[in-house]
Structure 1
């Protein structure tokens, strides 16, 4: 009985002329039934059939000698360039049983090729699909030829409306430790407002909130706290709403055990531990611990250690007694004293002028509060776009075992020129437009030139001012002003020229000071009309006035333009002399007190009292512009400007030698807006000292719009006890509060 062995092999498509080997395999069946073996690839389906004799089953298809001879020669030079691959040639068959040649003529039909291959037991047919190169070379069709219409509407599915799954959030356990409110502020479920696109989104939010609950509990000392979330469908099958339940279990509260700071000793000893306001037994609250460490970082630079740095805290928890041992490492750095100043960048002024602004001297113990004070003073000059101050080591020994550190001022000068304008209106004064051009550093350091003008329905003027800020001393300002002005009010019409000098210690919006003062001189020539009681008519007179004005103020309020608490006291005394047919010395005085009561975040009560007196001269010998008048937007609202006081026979205000005024306001604010009901009272008198008789009252309401530079003010007022000729309503528009 003759036995036969069947060979099953996969033939890989090859380049024509390349020989491939077929590995023979023994069949185990005694009476085999011939069957083809198949191998599928992504590009080709091949069927191979054939027979092999038993003697040839264990022979190699390709001998080792033939394999080695087919390899191309390799160079020993590892850096040599790659050689071109040789053109493959068919490997001759030694015996028909050892190899099967694939380099046979083929017949191509369409996109596939059929190769007739010989073997000892018959031909082998291989079907190989070939790519249609003609199709690949064709250009792509224009996109305009494609159908871009949306698919037709599917019955029962609503178009243009996203699916929404409503849900409710229920929280248990966090209220026990006071965290429920904070949790809701940060919750992903709460942010979703009870709606999600699918169940996966709800699950993701629930997982995020579970992690959030654990973190919050740990942040206040509940380190064993756990949380779980469950999602339950509604009890009503027709309701697609689900309920997300978060259950938190805080566990035991951990407290601080031992507290230790680790680093070099300080001078005096114990500064770091003293500045760390933590004690054994306190809950391990993250916010409290961080605040305590921040206090250390602030305190040590104030005590002579500018380069002090905190390390990473370590808290070792013990779950047997629910405590945590706290260790805080630190790097102390050198103990320092103030040295000199250095500067870099686009300079507004030199290091020498920076030293004028400092409130400390070389050799004083370093204090970061004084450095911050210097930085604020630099910002207050208005000459920088950016400025910073930082300590710099010098390596130079100072007194008391300290090291001198210089202050490096990194500055970038900003535009020194400024254009400003102000527009206002009030009954009695009419419209007033004021504008100014300023070059704040035309004469360095901080020498400014200010050109200003006023254009109004009743006042016009021009002025030029030279001003040097921080003149040889911090916060001291020296100014010299030359002005010309024309005023035309009911009380008088005046053409005035003035030369004035002033030395002052003033507040600024950035650096508000408690105590301020000013002194100077004033030379004025003015031509004014005044009522001559002897002649019974109004006449024009020219006056020459010399004055030495003095000012002192005390301010505890919290803002210059919009105070909400504190008080102010301002006193003006001006010894003067009017030269008109003789030398007539006199003294003008004025005292004002403003108070502010903070009732709530939205309500402030404000009050003002002002009294004035002129001593040493009769009223009729005074130039009309130097007398006291009452009434108007900054005085008693509801009455015209300068309308309160004695009246001349021609019906115009005559002014007086004294006055008193009283005001009270309720400033109610909501957001950037506010309303201000108010009551004012006041009068001016011919006598030297003011009286309480004959007071005129005005009341009204104002609107405020609060900006970053101060409130915009609109006040509407009416007289409460009007005189003949007083207006029914008076309107005032300006910037800043009335007082």
Structure 2
């Protein structure tokens, strides 16, 4: 059953990719045949280009006669041929039995006979080469790449007020060749004079100046100007920014940045439902400019019948260095499940540093005061007795994130590793190490019908240094629930103690948690319209008494869901069924309603 469901899930995602997105008008166009004399490679590329033009052309909608369509597409083919260096090509079209036949005689492919660059003499010697050279085919793409290369070189090596690079190609038909000249328009060289910022009301001006990275006396550079505007927008404090450059005076230009601030405060309210945790509500308040330098303060509260939390977090960007931030947090939490009741106060501080665009490392310290009343795995005398803990932890983290969206990823992957050593200050001899590795990956066939996305999640955890019952119950691993193995109740999967009653019958206790965790999820996501989508999924997982990774004894759940896609995140409704249902333990199905994808 499980193997069959996996096959169906992968098939649902991959099979639609064999076709393209339906286009009713495209299906009404007459078919065509394309024959290129003596060049099968060119024939294949022209066919692909013409099919793409048909799929995206609105002009063709005004034509009904196949002969008009043929004449229009012949002009497109002639333009395509010239862009690939075939300046003597001929295209003939004919219409028979509702089909268009194009016959192409490409002729010789023109090549570059001479190449010159006209720019200030002091700059010309430093330009080492272009992506196009004498003897190459005269391709439009190659010529434009040359324009970009010259522009990039000028921006990096000159202080021109305006950078304007153009080209001229002179065709020599009798030689099937062309002369190519790039020209850099004359412009004065200037440096930066005064830098002004207008429009900032609640943001410290020196903070915005630090983001600009442009100082008086710097070489003037248009690309650096664009980069400075982008850095201002990335602070998420600015809604819009424009720049004004003055006329040069004595070799200097003044730059004025005009900014429009965003609203720095946000209030959110949310509601969700799961059949194992009941109805939950959440509320949060956020201020993204508390001390006028991009500091963010957040307060968030979540309440349902199983979990309650109130958390506050302060984030200081650019802590000691540009790509580093400090996060301080305080959390009050409560958890009320069958196997234990827990209340905790947690204080933490963490420094995160971006090593690159996608890689982040973090290190911090955390102090947790908790009271845990464990109900499972204890004797009658022990049950109901509270255990107090003072846990000091030093979490270390690594994250590699290449996804495109945080709440509804369509492509990319996330690899997150956390290593967290604990020391119980109430009992100095008690220490343990908690490790969690999670990998998620997303792949979307954008050209396929319903734009299917295959999402995969793998999670593993291990705790070493203490036995199960020596660990605080709320720090052990459990599986089951909407963010784990759908189809099973919250934390209903994991080790249980076998109890023998007075009549000799065996019964299972509530889950006691474990030192090992393994979870695997596969999900196929489909977009039926701009606002509606659907999913099918298979989840597997379990918690184990021993910390060794184990994928041999997983509990599996399957299901399907509906997504209502908003501009912020999808609203999800999932219905899941346990494949390994246990009598007297598992319900026949579970329902999940919340914001955002399951993973």
Partners of 1:607 and 1:489 lie apart in 2 by 26
Question: Structure 1's 356 and 586: CA in aligned 2 closer, same or farther, altered over 3 A?
Answer: farther
- Secondary structure at the aligned position of 2:233 is classed as helix
Counterparts in 2 of 1:634 and 1:210: CA distance versus 1, 3 Å: closer
Q: Does 1:633 align with 2:482?
A: yes
Cα distance change of structure 1 residues 486 and 662 upon mapping to structure 2, 3 Å threshold: closer
Provide the rounded CA distance (Å) in 1 between the counterparts of 2:358 and 2:243.
22
SS in 2 for 1:538: coil
Alpha-carbon offset, residue 308 of structure 1:
6.1
Q: Which has the higher contact order (CA 8 A, sep 6+)?
A: 2
Is 1:681 aligned with 2:541? yes
Correspondent of 1:606 among 446, 456, 473:
456
> For residue 578 of structure 2, what is the aligned residue in structure 1?
719
Instruction: Compute the displacement of 1:261 (Å).
Output: 1.0
Q: Distance in 2 between matches of 1:690 and 1:543?
A: 30
Aligned counterpart, 1:106: none
> How many residue pairs were aligned?
544
Written as runs of structure 1 = structure 2, the 5 A alignment for 1:112-511 is 178=46, 180-181=50-51, 184=54, 190-194=60-64, 215=79, 217-223=81-87, 253-265=109-121, 269-271=125-127, 274=129, 276-302=130-156, 307=161, 309-331=163-185, 342-347=196-201, 349-354=203-208, 356-357=210-211, 375-387=229-241, 409-505=257-353
Alpha-carbon distance between aligned partners in 1 of 2:536 and 2:213, rounded to the nearest angstrom: 41
Q: 1:216 to 1:388 in 2, by over 3 A?
A: same
Report the alpha carbon displacement of residue 330 of structure 1 after superposing the two structures with TM.
0.8
Superposed CA offset, 1:578-598 (max 9, x none)? 53xx55542341231415374
Quick one: distance in 1 between partners of 2:252 and 2:392?
49
1:423 to partner: Cα distance: 3.5
| Structure 1 match to 2:17 | none
Alignment of 1:574 with 2:421, yes or no, is yes
3-state SS in 2 of match to 1:379:
helix
- Cα separation, 2, equivalents of 1:404 and 1:451: 48
Shift of 1:505: 3.6
What's the CA shift for 1:297? 2.7
Distance 1:593 1:571, change over 3 A: same
Provide the secondary structure at the position in 2 that maps to 1:320.
helix
Structure 1 contact 461–486 (Cα < 8 Å) conserved: yes
In structure 2, relative to structure 1, the CA distance for the partners of 1:318 and 1:583 (3 Å cut) is closer
Provide the C-alpha distance between the structure 1 equivalents of 2:263 and 2:189, rounded to a whole number of angstroms. Answer: 39
TM-score for both structures, normalised by structure 2: 0.74
Q: Secondary structure at the match of 1:436?
A: strand
CA contact (8 A) 1:501 1:520 kept: yes
Counterpart CA distance in 1 for 2:160 and 2:342 is 60
Q: Give me the whole-angstrom Cα distance separating, in 1, the residues matched to 2:363 and 2:244.
A: 34
Post-superposition offset of 1:262: 0.7
Check whether the contact 1:173–1:250 (CA below 8 A) recurs between aligned residues. no
Q: CA deviation at 1:461?
A: 3.5
C-alpha contact (below 8 Å) 1:502/1:518 kept by paired residues: yes
Report how far residue 555 of structure 1 moved: 0.7
- Give the CA RMSD over aligned residues: 4.7
TM-score of the pair, normalised by structure 1: 0.61
Q: 1:296 to 1:460 in 2, by over 3 A?
A: same
Deviation of residue 258 (structure 1)? 0.9
- Higher CA-based Rg: 1
Preserved CA contact (<8 Å) 2:340 2:376: no
Q: Secondary structure at the match of 2:481?
A: coil
Deviation string 1:295-334 (CA, Å, 9 cap, x unpaired) is 4334543456675623332122222212221111014868
